[in-house]
């Protein structure tokens, strides 16, 4: 029975080895199928890359790299780089235009801010001028009052003298009449 079991064991071991070989073959087949799909994608990408290469002729580095793309995979990598560079270039160009617009707006804003500051300064000066004008008018009134006061001060002693004389004259007349 030991020989029969050994034969069975060998058959099972052979079957397991055969199973492993079939499994390995299936994996290799899957890898080949994946590679074929990848190859088709690379061919499609290479065609698209040729189109993009015409649009990106100004990129010397990328053009030099595209010249050295010997394999489809290398060409696909180059194509993706060109596509990203073109997109990045467009974004940078758009950003530069936006930046120029913002710079122009900032310059205009600074000019307007300067004008507003000047306007505020003029407004402040006008308010100050109105205050000075009001003060001058008030000052003129006070000056007229002061002039009047000076005149009254000058006249007051004369008035006092006249009042004194008038009082004495009235008293003398009163005495002379009685």
Q: Write out pLDDT tens, residues 93-116.
A: 888 888 788 888 888 878 888 887
Q: CA-CA distance, 108 to 106, in Å (whole number)?
A: 5
Report the range of poorest mean pLDDT among 34-43, 106-115, 154-163: 154-163
Report yes or no: 63 and 52 within 8 Å, Cβ to Cβ. Answer: no
CB-count exposure of residue 66 (10 Å: 0-12, 13-18, 19+): buried
- The packing angle between helices 72-177 and 60-67, to 10°, is 170
- For residue 84, give the nearest of 52, 40, 58 by alpha carbon: 52
What is the chain's alpha carbon radius of gyration, rounded to the nearest angstrom?
56
**Higher confidence at residue 147 or residue 79?**
147
pTM for the whole thing?
0.30
Q: Alpha-carbon dihedral of residues 109, 111, 113, 116, nearest 10 degrees? A: -130
pLDDT of residue 57: 61
Q: What percent of the chain has pLDDT over 90?
A: 0
Question: What value does the mean pLDDT take over residues 130-146?
Answer: 80
Sign of the dihedral through C-alpha 136, 142, 145, 150: negative
pLDDT at 84 over 50: yes
pLDDT at 66 over 50: no
Two tokens, residue 111: 């000019």
Alpha-carbon separation of residue 173 from 102, 110, 159, 161, 164 (angstroms): 101, 90, 20, 18, 14
Report yes or no: 66 and 50 within 8 Å, Cβ to Cβ. Answer: no
- The packing angle between helices 2-55 and 72-177, to 10°, is 50
Report the range of poorest mean pLDDT among 52-56, 96-100, 162-166: 52-56
pLDDT of residue 51: 63
């Amino acid at each position: 029975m030991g020989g029969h079991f050994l034969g069975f064991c060998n058959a099972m071991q052979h079957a397991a080895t055969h199973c492993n070989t079939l499994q390995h073959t299936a994996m290799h087949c899957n890898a080949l199928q994946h590679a074929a799909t990848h190859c088709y994608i690379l061919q499609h990408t290479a065609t698209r890359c040729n189109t993009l290469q015409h649009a990106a002729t100004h990129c010397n580095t990328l053009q030099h790299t595209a010249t050295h793309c010997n394999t489809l995979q290398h060409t696909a990598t180059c194509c993706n780089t060109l596509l990203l560079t073109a997109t990045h270039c467009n974004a940078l160009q758009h950003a530069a235009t936006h930046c120029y617009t913002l710079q122009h707006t900032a310059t205009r804003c600074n000019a307007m801010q300067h004008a507003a500051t000047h306007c505020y300064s003029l407004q402040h000066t006008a308010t100050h001028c109105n205050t000075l004008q009001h003060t001058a008018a008030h000052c003129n009134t006070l000056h007229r009052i002061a002039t009047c006061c000076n005149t009254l001060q000058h006249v007051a002693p004369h008035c006092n003298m006249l009042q004194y004389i008038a009082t004495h004259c009235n008293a003398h007349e009163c005495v002379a009449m009685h």
